[in-house]
Amino acid sequence: MRILLQFAIIVGICLVGEFLHKIVGIPVPGNILGMVLLFILLCLKVVKIDHIKDVSDFLLKYIAFFFLPPSISIMAAGDEVLSQWPLLLAMCVALTIVTMVSTGWAVQLSVQISKTIKLHRKGIDVKRRAKVGSRESR
Amino acid sequence: MNLDNAFLQTPLFGIFLSLIAFEIGVSISRKWKFSLLNPILIANVLIIGFLTCTGISLETYNIGGDVITLFMYPVTVVLAVPLYRQVHKLCKYFVPIMIGICVGSLTAMLSVILCSKLLHLSHTMMLSLVPKSITIPMGSVVSAQIGGIPSVTIIAIVVTGITGAVTAPLVCKIFRIKYPVAQGVAIGTTSHALGTTRAMEIGEIQGAMSSLSIGVAGVLTAVVAPYILQWF
């Protein structure tokens, strides 16, 4: 599909997101509202993947590049960052591992619990069926 | 030699420098395949080195840099596409995934707040570090919104992402995170897009789970962060 039209759809959604944030006053950044909006539109099949495929694949592939310039601003970082960077670095690394473990455990535990509940229900079903079956056979 | 004159006062210079530095970063990281050699980090070192050596100011670079940063809006919006592509998997494991992402996002934010208090970091620094587990386009706007410094946030996000990508297999092994779904959600929630590239190498389910977690965790953090910070 036409590239410029794909861009127009995506930028249009950004614009609506900004409108919702700045004019309607929803306290979530406009680009994030735009993402939620696009997701809803995709689910409702108002926008199809084909309508935006080429442009979105391009943007997602080079996602890191678009954030190179803001990261360069670290040059202007104050003494606060420069003086305690080893501490900040260690903190980021340690907290990353803490977060990863807690997330993984939370998912794993809830999968296990839901499996046990399902098994438990099935177990009850089997018992009931067995009972009914035994009555019928009498 | 002062190059900071009218010749460089167009967006062209910043855009050109970014493109070249990023391409060098990509080719170096492809050649050595060592996770610490992230294209963004390499490009960062190259650009900062170049600007410092030539004495060109950050403002001059940013004339072009701001043009690239403008893409932040469309890039965040199209993160809905991977989320939509995985929607059937999201529905299948909806409850565990949501519980995991909620726990993960809250841990990420609360652990930063707790650590900052213990280590007596300044309030601005704490605010800048709170959105460090979400993807850059979301993290930088959330940071600005809650009163942090976006450039500090971005560096923290890159560090978090690289740490996640490097340590994920080891962490999953040591802490016995065995389910592919759990591994994927853990990697995506913690270390966003940078971790996701690693998750895709580990397995298909891990990659899919990780890429859908980026969007959900980002939205959740953006919505919840201002309310949590009210208490501190």
- Picking from B177, B175, B101, B210, the residue whose alpha carbon sits closest to that of residue A112 is B177
Q: How far, CA to CA in Å, does A86 sit from each of A74, A90, B35, B43?
A: 15, 6, 20, 21
A50 and A15 inside one domain: yes
Kindly determine whether residue A105 and residue B121, on different chains, have CB atoms separated by under 8 Å: no
Q: Is residue A122 in a domain?
A: yes
Tell me if ipTM is over 0.85: no
Residue B15 — pLDDT band, cuts 50, 70, 90?
Answer: very high
Q: Is residue A54 in a domain?
A: yes
A49 and A83 inside one domain: no
A87 and A58 inside one domain: no
Kindly determine whether residue A93 and residue B163, on different chains, have CB atoms separated by under 8 Å: yes
Tell me the angle at which helices B58-69 and B39-54 cross, rounded to the nearest 10 degrees: 150
Nearest C-alpha of chain B: how many angstroms from A132? Answer: 32
CA dihedral B147, B217, A36, B152 (to 10 degrees): 30
A83 and A46 inside one domain: no
Tell me the angle at which helices B204-230 and A30-43 cross, rounded to the nearest 10 degrees: 130
Q: Is residue A74 in a domain?
A: no
User: Which residues, including other chains, have CB under 8 Å from residue B92's CB and lie 6 or more apart?
Assistant: none
* Sign of the Cα pseudo-torsion (B5, B8, B11, B17, in order): negative
Cβ-based contacts of A63 with chain B (< 8 Å): 75, 135-137, 193
Cα A113 from Cα B100, distance rounded (Å): 13
Q: Is residue A71 in a domain?
A: no
Kindly determine whether residue A114 and residue B96, on different chains, have CB atoms separated by under 8 Å: yes
Cα B100 from Cα A83, distance rounded (Å): 35
A98 and A51 inside one domain: no
Determine the Cα angle at A89 with ends A86 and A95, to 5°: 135
For residue range B158-216, list pLDDT tens digits in order.
889 888 888 888 999 999 999 999 999 999 999 888 888 788 888 888 888 888 888 88
A83 and A121 inside one domain: yes
B11, two tokens? 């967006």
Residue B3 has pLDDT above 90, yes or no: no
Q: Is residue A72 in a domain?
A: no
User: Which residues, including other chains, have CB under 8 Å from residue B10's CB and lie 6 or more apart?
Assistant: B63, B64
A59 and A89 inside one domain: no
Choose one of A66, A95, A117: the last residue of a domain: A66
Interface test with A, best of B60, B62, B76, B102 (most A CBs within 10 A): B76
For residue B14, the model assigns a pLDDT of 92
Cβ-based contacts of A29 with chain B (< 8 Å): 138, 141-142, 145, 222
Residue B21 — pLDDT band, cuts 50, 70, 90?
Answer: very high
Choose one of A16, A32, A66: the last residue of a domain: A66
Kindly determine whether residue A32 and residue B104, on different chains, have CB atoms separated by under 8 Å: no
Domain, as residue range, for A12: 1-66
Considering only CA atoms, give the Rg of chain A.
26
A60 and A87 inside one domain: no
For residue B12, the model assigns a pLDDT of 92
Q: Is residue A109 in a domain?
A: yes
A62 and A105 inside one domain: no
A86 and A119 inside one domain: yes
Cα B143 from Cα B128, distance rounded (Å): 6
A16 and A51 inside one domain: yes
Residues 19-58 of A with CB under 8 A from B: 27-32, 34-39, 42-43, 49, 52, 55-56
Q: Is residue A3 in a domain?
A: yes
Number of domains composing chain A: 2
Cα B151 from Cα A56, distance rounded (Å): 25
| B221 to chain A: closest CA residue | A28
Q: What number is the average pLDDT over the span B140-151?
A: 88
A9 and A35 inside one domain: yes
User: Which residues, including other chains, have CB under 8 Å from residue A56's CB and lie 6 or more apart?
Assistant: A6, A10, B78, B81
Q: Is residue A73 in a domain?
A: no
Q: Which of B125, B152, B171 sits opposite A100 (nearest CB)?
A: B171
CA dihedral B219, B225, B226, B228 (to 10 degrees): 140
